[in-house]
Structure 1
């Protein structure tokens, strides 16, 4: 199995502060994201990823986020197998200290 690319919450926060345009996808459930998401993230529940593949562009890299990085890791493996460029934010929202909306 190909190794998964990761990004730490700190690295992600720096990139956002530097104004980088990133493709963030939060795969948590509705009630979880209601408590706050990283600004600019798109919400697609983990179970809805397979039917939303047309949202993803193989030329872009996507950073996946969940509560602890377990579900987002599963999504990353699934999409990586299909040829998408993905990164998992390790630690998930439990480790995120940046702003949320």
Structure 2
């Protein structure tokens, strides 16, 4: 697991070189999210981890509102064998210009 800045996340986004995982609530996701992001709220991650299995060896950028839930999710996925996990520190707020609603 690696913590990344908004600039590194934008690089992944621009290069389409990562899967984005939104671990906020469904209502937060609907309010605005990274295009093509997968939405799995942190409290459902354990039971829905199989949905991420196809991406086990791909870059996964995990984000939430502040970076706290994404850190927890990043640690969880790393412990479960996901190899390329990136936690967006500081949350999604700095990426407002990239969100779809």
TM-score (norm 2): 0.84
Deviation at 1:62, TM superposition (A): 1.2
- Greater helix percent: which structure? 2
Give the number of equivalent residue pairs: 97
Alignment gaps of 5+ in structure 1: none
Counterpart in the other structure of 2:97: 98
Change (3 A) 1:14 1:59: closer
Q: In angstroms, what is the RMSD of aligned CA positions?
A: 1.5
Describe how 1:1-101 pairs up with structure 2 within 5 A: 4-17=1-14, 19-57=15-53, 58-85=56-83, 86-101=85-100
Q: Distance in 1 between matches of 2:18 and 2:8?
A: 12
| Whole-Å separation in 2 of the counterparts to 1:11 and 1:61 | 12
Q: TM-score, normalised by structure 1?
A: 0.84
SS across alignment from 2:71: helix
Shift of 1:92: 0.7
| Structure 2: tracts of 5 or more residues without a match | none
Cα offset, 1:26, TM superposition: 0.2
User: After TM superposition, which residue ranges in structure 1, 4 or more long, deviate above 3 angstroms?
Assistant: none
